[in-house]
A = this chain, B = another copy of it.
Amino acid sequence: MEPRAKILFADDEPDILEIISFNLEKEGYEVIQAKDGQEALDLCKLHRPDLIILDIMMPYKSGIDVCNLLRQLPDFRTTPIVMLTALSDESSQIKGLDTGADDYISKPISPKILISRINALLRRSKKDTDQKVMKIGDMTIDQTRFLVTIGETDVNLAKKEFELLSLLASKPGRVFLRNEILSLVWGSEVIVGDRTIDVHIRKIRQKMGVDCIKTIKGVGYKFEL
């Protein structure tokens, strides 16, 4: 089961906010509500939604303003944005799309169509987001960032340490023989001494602070929280 997609929905009309949120949640999405443009912006930064729905006419900041500002932040450069509005005239629709929105839907909204369009956008954006992150309990191993995180703490591992931990964590609970580790982390050609693995395991344990690598004497090591 993959995690539910988070959708931020911003509209200043409480009724619409309620009805649409209800429909989105029924569809299995996690909905974050915002009642104006400024709040939408703040909540985006806080929650990092996977998709954003913005009403155009909102107090403090219009949907177009919010869209423009979001598109400047690296984190939201590719997040799908849907514009929502009562205006159905051409020029405002074009303006919305040219701002960087991915879709533009005129009110009155059919919840079914909205959901179909949202599904289409998320289906598309998921294809580009192939992150290589592993999560085991409160530990995160991010291959693209080369970073291990335990809770809120970042742990900096050297290249070999990181590779070794990644290997063990790739199949939590499974025991890796010393031979396997050698050939998978060091390669089959390289020949290193017996104690090399131990030393690296030691360094990992030291840096992590958490006891997550278990020794099985005479066999090998395994990852376990």
Contact = CB atoms under 8 A, between A and B. Distances in A.
A146 interface: yes
Interface residues of A, number: 53
Given A97-B120, A98-B120, A144-B174, 4 more contacts: A72-B134, A77-B131, A98-B119, A145-B173
Contacts of A159: 216-219
Nearest to A121: B102
A38 interface: no
Interface string A75-114: 1011010000000001001100110111110000010110
A170 interface: yes
Can you list the 4 inter-chain pairs with the closest CB atoms, starting with the nearest? A159-B218, A97-B116, A94-B116, A97-B120
A175 B144 contact: yes
A145 B90 contact: no
A113 B93 contact: yes
Contacts of A145: 173-175, 222
Nearest to A94: B116
Interface stretch (A11-19, A52-60, A122-130): A122-130
Contacts of A1: none
Contacts of A90: 110, 112-113
A158 interface: yes
Contacts of A175: 144-146
A100 B113 contact: no
B124 A102 contact: yes
B100 A103 contact: no
Interface in A178-205: none
Contacts of A217: 158-159
Interface string A58-82: 0000000000000111110110100
Given A77-B129, A146-B175, A98 B71 contact: no
A135 interface: yes
22 contacts: A72-B134, A74-B169, A75-B172, A77-B127, A77-B129, A77-B131, A78-B124, A90-B110, A90-B113, A93-B113, A94-B116, A97-B116, A97-B117, A97-B120, A98-B119, A98-B120, A102-B120, A102-B121, A144-B174, A145-B173, A145-B175, A158-B218
